[in-house]
Amino acid sequence: MAAEAKPQILSHVNNLNYFSILLLLLYFNVASGAGGTWRLLLNDVGISAMHSQLLINDRVIMYDRSNFGPSKISLPSGACRVSPNDVVSKRDCTAHSIEYDVAFNSIRPLTIESNTWCSSGGVTPEGALLQTGGDKEGERKARMFYPCDDESCDWTEVDNALYVRRWYATNHVLPDGRQIIIGGRNQFNFEFFPKTKAPSLYKLPFLSETYDAGQENNLYPFVFLNSDGNLFIYANNKAILLDYNKNTVVKTYPKIPGGDPRSYPSTGSAVLLPIKNLEAEVVEMEVLVCGGAPKGSYLLALYKNTFVKALDTCARIKINDDKPQWVLEKMPRSRVMGDMILLPNGHVLLINGGSSGSAGWELGREPVLNPDLYHPDKPVGSRFQVQNPSTIPRMYHSTAGLLRDGRVLVGGSNPHQFYNFTDVLFPTELRLEAFSPSYLESQYWSIRPRIISLLSHSTVNYGGILRLRFMVFGIGGVRSPVKVTMVFPSFTSHSFSMSQRLLVLDHVELVRIGVWTYEVRVKAPKSKNLAPPGYYMAFVVNQDIPSEGIWLRLQ
């Protein structure tokens, strides 16, 4: 009898174990949910996502550099290219650009002929990616990528598209749909794509004034289109407002308190905070700059093997104030080479980077694995919320970007001159991850809006009324004001998302039209200065929980 009873006791113990494991799993699920969750999407995308751009077919174009040896993915249909400036081999049969399909979680290789290293870009009003510049034979080229629904599209390259070499420059999409290309190594000027007739190249003394000898600290400037049509340009530790049509500086902003640099290689990041009250006479525009590295960090890392603690502050400024002043805020930690991403509900995600050293090969240390969430509308001192960590360091040459489903796609990291996968600190990173902010958790199921009207890629006119029907399945789960936000898909490289902006549309009314169905009516922006023409992701936001977005074309 006793012998027979034993297995029963054992199986009972086993059941208990399974039960407690289940409980533990549940516990960890809930615990990790509070600060967002990470998921590994693909283990090897073949290249390191140094530059990335989401397009209107929900595919993300990524590329790195095309002259530093073979990647881990072959060119389409067995092609090879001659690459005279390649430092590893002059014949290269691998791809240095890919297309990532969000829905299928799959990739395909693309063909780039010339070097795109440390370049810039943005999307055109038609939804194509315009990429500009790079190094060596690629430094004056532009490359276009027109999205397609199958696998037929690839890059086309335009020779001599730029007046001068553009390496480490910043682009911004303009109200007329053109792009401005500002600065870059040894370029204290700007130009346009497509090229304008003479004068074609415009001097920008601000860029020579912000140049630190031997360490630059003014590359990849942070550029934002202001509501008055001028451009806010931040480099090193200060900023101007530029009328690019007349090439005059209309405003000079004070230095950030402390005076430390926050642009490349002292790489911090910056966003334009959500733009609201769009009908106001002067729309309030606020810029938030976070992180960076104290002056001299780059040189100390390069020559002395000393990795200085990064900056642990953000600075925020209302750029249309009569006497604009920077207000400093402390972050939960030091961060250099971090990315700043506007989330659909208007919160800002700080993600990626390290906490000491600087940008540049082998110069960053202490990866920051935790993102931090910033709530712009809370009082100073309670704006930051620490998020759950990844396990993958994302150092120099990593990227992050918002997807239409509300996740943040994270890729890249290669602080080396080559693809180096072993025997180095922070090996070249080919893994792609997604960070899901806590608003995607299933516990918000009953208040999450689901957009049911308007087909994706519908057109909205400037100043028009936008009617969005949505469902919320929890009875009484809709609490006014329901917001509608629009996010421009940004081009990301070197910790800066170019042309990134989010608009909170002015409310007209919210109507309940069924048990679970509502219609929200909002006004599309009136001005191209507030929102340049093109495709935006539109979201309905109920109590800070966003719907999945839809693509809308503003024209």
Contact 521, 511 (CB under 8 A): yes
Using H for helix, E for strand and C for coil, what is the string for 399-418?
EEEECCCCCEEEEECCCCCC
Q: Would you say 26 or 88 has its CB closer to ligand NAG?
A: 88
The Cα–Cα gap between 93 and 121 comes to 25
Q: Please, which residues bridge with residue 89 across strands?
A: none
DSSP code per residue over 63-93: E--SSSS--SSBPGGG--EE-TT-SS-SEE-
Q: Would you say 238 or 397 has its CB closer to ligand NAG?
A: 397
Task: Tell me which stretch binds ligand NAG (CB under 6 A): 45-53, 74-82, 415-423, 449-457.
Answer: 415-423
Q: How far is the CB of 89 from ligand NAG (least distance, A)?
A: 9
Q: Would you say 274 or 412 has its CB closer to ligand NAG?
A: 412
Q: Would you say 86 or 286 has its CB closer to ligand NAG?
A: 86
Q: How far is the CB of 423 from ligand NAG (least distance, A)?
A: 5
Q: How far is the CB of 428 from ligand NAG (least distance, A)?
A: 9
Q: Would you say 365 or 404 has its CB closer to ligand NAG?
A: 365
**C-alpha separations of 409 from 59, 72, 231, 329 in Å:** 11, 20, 28, 27
Retrieve residue 552's tokens.
């809308």
Sign of the dihedral defined by the CA atoms of residues 417, 186, 131, 60, in that order: positive
Identify residues 80-99 at the interface with ligand NAG (CB under 6 A). Answer: 88
69 contributes a contact to ligand NAG by CB under 6 A: yes
Q: How many residues bind ligand NAG (CB under 6 A)?
A: 6
Q: How far is the CB of 390 from ligand NAG (least distance, A)?
A: 24
Q: Would you say 25 or 425 has its CB closer to ligand NAG?
A: 425
The Cα–Cα gap between 464 and 476 comes to 29
Q: Please, which residues bridge with residue 327 across strands?
A: 316
362 contributes a contact to ligand NAG by CB under 6 A: no
Q: Would you say 418 or 444 has its CB closer to ligand NAG?
A: 418
SS3 category, 18: helix
The Cα–Cα gap between 393 and 547 comes to 30
Identify residues 417-436 at the interface with ligand NAG (CB under 6 A). Answer: 418, 420, 423-424
Sign of the dihedral defined by the CA atoms of residues 348, 351, 354, 355, in that order: positive
Q: How far is the CB of 69 from ligand NAG (least distance, A)?
A: 5
Using H for helix, E for strand and C for coil, what is the string for 150-198?
CCCCCCEEECCCCCCCCCCCEEEECCCCCEEEECCCCCCEEEEECCCCC
Q: How far is the CB of 452 from ligand NAG (least distance, A)?
A: 52
- Torsion, CA 179, CA 128, CA 352, CA 342, rounded to 10: 80
Task: Tell me which stretch binds ligand NAG (CB under 6 A): 72-80, 159-167, 275-283, 416-424.
Answer: 416-424
> In angstroms, how far is the first alpha carbon of the chain from the final one?
83
Find the residue with minimal CB distance to ligand NAG: 418
Q: How far is the CB of 70 from ligand NAG (least distance, A)?
A: 8
Binding mask 21-60 for ligand NAG (x = CB under 6 A): ----------------------------------------
Q: Would you say 69 or 332 has its CB closer to ligand NAG?
A: 69
Q: How far is the CB of 427 from ligand NAG (least distance, A)?
A: 9
Of 479, 485, 446, 410, nearest to 37 (Cα)? Answer: 410
Q: Would you say 93 or 424 has its CB closer to ligand NAG?
A: 424
The β-bridge relationship of strands 458-460 and 550-554 is parallel
CB atoms within 10 A of CB 224: 23
| 19 contact partners, CB below 8 Å, separation of at least 6 | none
Q: How far is the CB of 219 from ligand NAG (least distance, A)?
A: 25
Q: How far is the CB of 149 from ligand NAG (least distance, A)?
A: 37
Q: Would you say 68 or 211 has its CB closer to ligand NAG?
A: 68
Q: Would you say 175 or 427 has its CB closer to ligand NAG?
A: 427
Q: How far is the CB of 64 from ligand NAG (least distance, A)?
A: 14
The footprint of ligand NAG (CB under 6 A) covers 69, 88, 418, 420, 423-424
